[in-house]
Amino acid sequence: MTTEIPVGRKATVKIPASSANLGPGFDTLGLALGLYDHVTVEVTDAPLVVEVTGEGQGEVPLDESHLVVRAIRAGLKAADVSVRGLKVTCHNSIPQSRGLGSSASAAVAGVCAANGLAGFPLGDDQLVQLASAFEGHPDNAAASILGGAVVSWTNVPIDGHSEPKHYAVGVKVHEAIKATAFVPDFHASTEAVRRVLPSDVSHLDARFNVSRTAVMTIALQHDPSLLWEGTRDRLHQTYRAEVLPITAEWVNRLRNLGYPAFLSGAGPTIMVLSTEDVDQKLKDEAIERGIRVLELEVAGPVQVEVNG
């Protein structure tokens, strides 16, 4: 029998941003970043109320179609609990549609808030599955749930009817590694940027990316001197350059100067992972050209606090 959560119970969630792919690890590697959305979900006896401030304010729906709300509903169903009403308050700091995992963070916020309201019956594996289902791949969502870096994968059932199964394992990140994000002032649709990718790639390019993904896991954990080599890619960034010319320009420029730069997710954000600071003159130039520069630490897992 479904349990009804009492009115007045409140879950507060702090969700880190994330960067996906990290160069070669297409739909596989992810990294949690120290930039956070904060979501509060309170059980009420009134109709749904959604409030949004910060990033996305005035741009996202304030009804049942809001991604956080849809994820809450999925989490409540998985936990076999119900509510009379909800008040959802979102304060967003993660730039929307910039390749920093804003949509994955929203999904994580919803399922983790629901889990907290229900008394935490769902484990990390279930949370990864629920949140990743909204994205279709687990790299961003898993990073925001588990923190640090993740290696993730998806198994698609051969029957053609069952839902894909999403999995992830955490990878501890070398304490000296930090991130610098260059965030251009325009949106990039993940779907639109995916459309430029070819349906087939050469065996040579596939082998190249397999090797660099392996190198990247070593670079992240043990040897940051390998980050430049570990962030090389032949599967997606070259193709996406034609629709993200500003991003491609900065990735190439930074890499030519020796910085381990890559396209963050589907872009347009450019990410640098390094143990050294990016030269201040380069950062100043980027700012002058309307590109936001964010110095970010590697983040820990999502945090959930429950009252009532």
Annotated binding site for ATP: 95-105
For residue 149, the one-letter residue type is: A
Asked whether 5 and 117 are in contact (CB, 8 A), the reply is yes
> Whole-angstrom Cα distance, residue 104 to residue 101?
5
> Whole-angstrom Cα distance, residue 228 to residue 69?
39
Rg (alpha carbons) of the chain, rounded to whole number: 19
β-strands 10-20, 29-44 pairing: antiparallel
Q: Where are the beta strands (DSSP E) in the chain?
A: 3-4, 10-20, 29-44, 49-54, 81-82, 85-92, 149-155, 165-171, 178-183, 261-263, 270-274, 292-296, 303-307
Q: Which residues are annotated as a binding site?
A: 95-105
User: Chain centroid to CA 70: how far?
Assistant: 17
> What's the token pair of residue 177?
């590694």
SS3 227: helix
Asked whether 144 and 56 are in contact (CB, 8 A), the reply is no
